[in-house]
Amino acid sequence: MAKTVYVLNGPNLNLLGTREPKTYGHATLGDVETLCREAAGRRKLAIEFRQSNHEGEIVDSIQEAGAKKAAGIVINAGAYTHTSVAIRDAIAAIAVPVIEDHISNVFARESFRHHSHIAPLANAS
């Protein structure tokens, strides 16, 4: 059976395509999912692609990835990146490699976006 990578998208990423296009571009979350599925297919990986506006649901997905011994998690936690100790603790609680990603360059934006609770635990950003 193919190993599974969880691709987790946080709040407001469901609005990609229309949300602040100068910052986030015109691609939709559906476009992102297609790219992820193509990349995973080339590597014979399965993808569990999710988006949630709710912190606890993201925690649930991280715990699920841990329980199912996922091959990895790729997470764009959106604004929760900068605020969520709960998401940070969920990542700390499991033994699954994590890659943090963002669409925009958070370091070129407001100072409140410069800190990530996830980055210290991530294997890559």
Distance of CA 37 to the CA centre of its chain: 15
Count Cα atoms within 13 angstroms, Cβ side, for 92.
Answer: 10
DSSP labels, 5-60: EEEEE-TTGGGTTTS-HHHH-S--HHHHHHHHHHHHHHTT-EEEEEE-S-HHHHHH
User: Does the protein bind ligand DQA through residue 102 (CB under 6 A)?
Assistant: yes
User: Does the protein bind ligand DQA through residue 58 (CB under 6 A)?
Assistant: no
Binding segment for ligand DQA among 27-35, 49-57, 62-70, 96-104 (CB under 6 A)?
96-104
6 part of the active site = no
Interface pick for ligand DQA out of 78, 84, 96, 100 (rule CB under 6 A): 78
- Minimum Å gap between C-beta 22 and ligand DQA is 12
User: Does the protein bind ligand DQA through residue 113 (CB under 6 A)?
Assistant: yes
First to last CA, the chain: 28
114 part of the active site = no
User: Does the protein bind ligand DQA through residue 103 (CB under 6 A)?
Assistant: yes
> Which residues touch 19 (CB under 8 Å, ≥6 apart)?
12
Interface pick for ligand DQA out of 76, 90, 91, 100 (rule CB under 6 A): 76
Which residues carry out catalysis?
Answer: 24, 102
